[in-house]
């Protein structure tokens, strides 16, 4: 029995000695691999749904989506449809459509394609975005002229209302416009894979040909109102979207370029002194 305890004691001494002989690494590297979610994010614009619910003269729906390409770069798109009736109540019957100086209804669809660049540095596991981006947008629509009258301060011939400006009322098909958009926005993950977003947009029309002998396009689906003599438009959206994770990818840090050390300059030899 004593021989057994003696052998066990020597084995423990050898094990402890070998473990203490190994050097301790004070600069141990973290070998944990951090991966981020990549996939397709789809959703809808809440602002158009809310306005459609509360306003009788507007109906709109916009679907939004993006696809992550790299750490900060996303493909983005919006697809929508809008119908809006606009009138200017300057006639005698200001509370009805018959009293409008002019009244028209624009209806059509649009698509926007572009990229977003995330400028926000996330902690591990976060997917938030503060981004800038650009879009190319195209819209096809129709415009129906419901009423049109001539504004005239001389009420001698028409004391009760303005004179009718045209009899060419009706629907005009085949309108189309295209424009570029500059986008600034954010997207925050409120729940796992569920995002709330908001963005502001500045658009400039590329094609803005004026229709001959017809009413100008004063509203373009996806672009918003068009003012006389200006090619710019302003828009916004508030979206809710869901990320469909397709795969995970490791976020590898950028490798630092090792610059070669400068070669030492040769020491200057001392010139012999004149005697």
Q: Which two tokens stand for residue 160?
A: 């009760």
Please, what is the Cα angle at 222 between 217 and 228, to 5 degrees? 30
The token pair that represents 200 in the structure block: 């502001």
The pTM (predicted TM-score) of the whole model is 0.72
Q: Is 44 exposed, middle or buried (0-12, 13-18, 19+ CB in 10 A)?
A: middle
* Pair 105, 85: CB distance under 8 Å: yes
Residues in the chain: 275
- What angle (nearest 5°) sits at the alpha carbon of residue 49, between those of residues 175 and 148? 40
Task: Give CA–CA dist 110/223, Å, rounded.
Answer: 9
- How confident is the prediction along the chain (275 residues), in pLDDT tens digits per residue? 555 545 555 555 555 455 455 455 556 555 566 688 899 999 999 999 999 999 989 999 999 999 999 989 999 999 999 999 887 665 444 444 455 566 788 999 999 999 999 999 888 778 899 999 999 999 999 988 876 665 555 555 555 554 455 556 667 788 899 999 999 999 999 999 999 999 999 999 998 776 666 667 889 999 998 877 788 989 999 999 999 999 988 766 555 566 666 666 666 555 555 54
Q: Compute CA 205 distance to the chain's CA centroid, rounded to the nearest angstrom.
A: 19
| b/e code 189-227 from CB counts within 10 Å (16+ = b) | beeeeebbbebebebebeeeeeeeeebebebbbbbeebe
Q: Which domains does the chain have, with CATH numbers?
A: 33-250 (2.40.160.20)
Residue 31: predicted pLDDT: 56
Q: Which H/E stretch holds residue 73? A: strand 73-89
């Amino acid at each position: 029995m004593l021989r057994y305890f003696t052998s066990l004691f020597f084995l423990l001494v050898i094990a402890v000695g070998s473990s203490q002989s190994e050097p301790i690494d004070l600069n141990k590297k973290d070998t944990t691999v951090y991966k981020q979610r990549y996939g397709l994010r789809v959703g809808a614009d809440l602002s158009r749904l809310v306005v459609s619910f509360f306003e009788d003269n507007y109906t709109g729906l916009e679907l939004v989506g993006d696809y992550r390409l790299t750490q900060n770069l996303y493909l983005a798109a919006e697809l929508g449809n809008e119908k809006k009736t606009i009138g200017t109540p300057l006639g005698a019957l200001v509370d009805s459509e018959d009293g409008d100086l002019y009244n028209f209804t624009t209806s059509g669809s649009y698509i926007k394609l572009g990229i977003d660049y995330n400028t926000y540095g996330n902690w591990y596991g976060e997917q938030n975005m503060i981004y800038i981006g650009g879009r190319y947008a195209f819209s096809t629509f129709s415009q129906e002229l419901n009423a049109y009258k001539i504004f005239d301060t001389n009420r001698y011939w028409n004391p009760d209302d303005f004179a009718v400006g045209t009899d060419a009322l009706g629907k005009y098909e085949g309108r189309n416009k295209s424009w570029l958009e500059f986008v600034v926005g954010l997207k925050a993950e409120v729940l796992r894979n569920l995002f709330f977003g908001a963005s502001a947009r500045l658009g400039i029309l590329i094609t803005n040909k004026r229709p001959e002998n017809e009413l100008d396009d004063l509203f373009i689906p996806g672009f918003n109102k068009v003012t006389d003599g200006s090619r710019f438009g302003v828009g916004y959206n508030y979206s809710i979207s869901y990320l469909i994770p397709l795969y995970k990818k490791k976020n590898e840090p950028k490798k630092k370029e090792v610059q070669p050390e400068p070669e030492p300059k040769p020491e200057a030899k001392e010139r012999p002194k004149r005697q």
